[in-house]
Amino acid sequence: MKCSKCSEKAVIKINYMGQALCEKHFRRFFKKRVRKTCKGLIKYDDKVGVAVSGGKDSGVMLHLLSKQTDPEAILIDEGIEGYRDKNVENAKKVCEELNVPLNIYSFEEEYGFRLDGLDDKNLSRGPCSYCGVLRRSLLNEKSRELGFDKLAIGHNLDDEAQTGLMNFVRGEFHRIARMGKEVGVVEEEDFVKRFKPLRRCPEKEVVTYGLLIGLDAGFDECPYVKQAYRADIRDSLNDWEEKYPGTKFSVLNSSDELAGLIEDEFRGEIKKCSECGEPCAGDICQKCSMLREIRETL
């Protein structure tokens, strides 16, 4: 298979464009798309934080952002043996190579327990529910403390299209509204503004780019992940994309358009949590109510 732009050997076939690209042209194409996605989202003097996990998406994102900005990385160690500990090592290696400061915060130090420690407790929800809320909350607090003006999150096109489709199918419009208009930037006081440089990059392209730059990254899945529903949505989206190339982009565009149309409708008043002072919808934030429940069982 030859590159559609030159006579070199192609490294990837991009069906939704009807093209194959060689390494040089693919790298150029991929970087241009990320640059375009970030356009208007970062100011020249912004201090940019990059949320890293040690996985492929955040590794690729850090590679690209470290060329354009002078970022710092932030990693949340939830305390998941055999998974996060391996990924923390990958993240350290990548940050060192790129000369990017890495700030690590752990559930253990911040909250007093590891995620592994919750597994045998008699809690009302599965570990992923607590992990999601506590990780996001810590990311926001620490990003603010570190003085980040913007925080880059490594979701790729597949993640975003799956989330958009899931939210539509389940009728979770408030979640779509929260996905943020057009470019995935949530603009709210007390929230460090988040942006998603890879949200227009299909997973396949992120993986290919990662291989081409020789990225050390974990490909393991978190042992707690039992997201059967997301997996089914992913399978359907992959089927449709195979038959109707461009479907994932189309679903992302629909979610964005919908988010833009309804964001005012679903944006509730933002109050401050009476316990921790962080932004929240009610009197006490989800993080504090979860911590309260967990601490009662410890």
Sorted by sequence, the CB contacts under 8 Å of residue 56 that are 6+ apart come out as: 206, 207, 210, 215, 217, 218, 219
Select from 96, 220, 257, 283 the one that contacts a second copy (CB under 8 A). 257
Pairing of strands 193-195, 271-272: unpaired
> Tokens representing 205?
């392209």
Q: CB of residue 248 vs a second copy: minimum separation in angstroms?
A: 10
Q: Which residue lies nearer to a second copy by CB, 180 or 210? A: 180
Q: CB of residue 161 vs a second copy: minimum separation in angstroms?
A: 10
**Contact (Cβ atoms closer than 8 angstroms) between residue 182 and residue 258:** no
Q: CB of residue 206 vs a second copy: minimum separation in angstroms?
A: 22
Select from 232, 272, 283, 297 the one that contacts a second copy (CB under 8 A). 232
Select from 19, 68, 253, 289 the one that contacts a second copy (CB under 8 A). 253
CB crowding 185-214: b at 16 or more within 10 Å, else e: eeeeeebbbbbbbbbbbbbbbbbbbbeeee
Helical segments of the chain, H only: 23-38, 56-68, 84-98, 107-111, 127-145, 157-170, 173-179, 203-212, 228-243, 247-266, 286-297
Q: Which residue lies nearer to a second copy by CB, 2 or 229? A: 229
Q: CB of residue 160 vs a second copy: minimum separation in angstroms?
A: 14
261 binds a second copy (CB under 8 A): yes
Q: CB of residue 170 vs a second copy: minimum separation in angstroms?
A: 6
Sole window of 42-50, 84-92, 147-155, 167-175 interacting with a second copy (rule: CB under 8 A) = 167-175
Footprint of a second copy on residues 272-291 (CB under 8 A)? none
254 binds a second copy (CB under 8 A): yes
Select from 18, 82, 171, 214 the one that contacts a second copy (CB under 8 A). 171
**Contact (Cβ atoms closer than 8 angstroms) between residue 29 and residue 47:** no
Cα three-residue angle 242-243-245, rounded to 5 degrees: 70
Q: CB of residue 241 vs a second copy: minimum separation in angstroms?
A: 11
Sorted by sequence, the CB contacts under 8 Å of residue 184 that are 6+ apart come out as: 153, 155, 160, 194, 195, 196, 199
Q: Which residue lies nearer to a second copy by CB, 41 or 251? A: 251
Binding site for a second copy (CB under 8 A): 165, 168-171, 173, 228-229, 232-233, 236, 239-240, 243-244, 247, 250-251, 253-254, 257-258, 261-262, 265
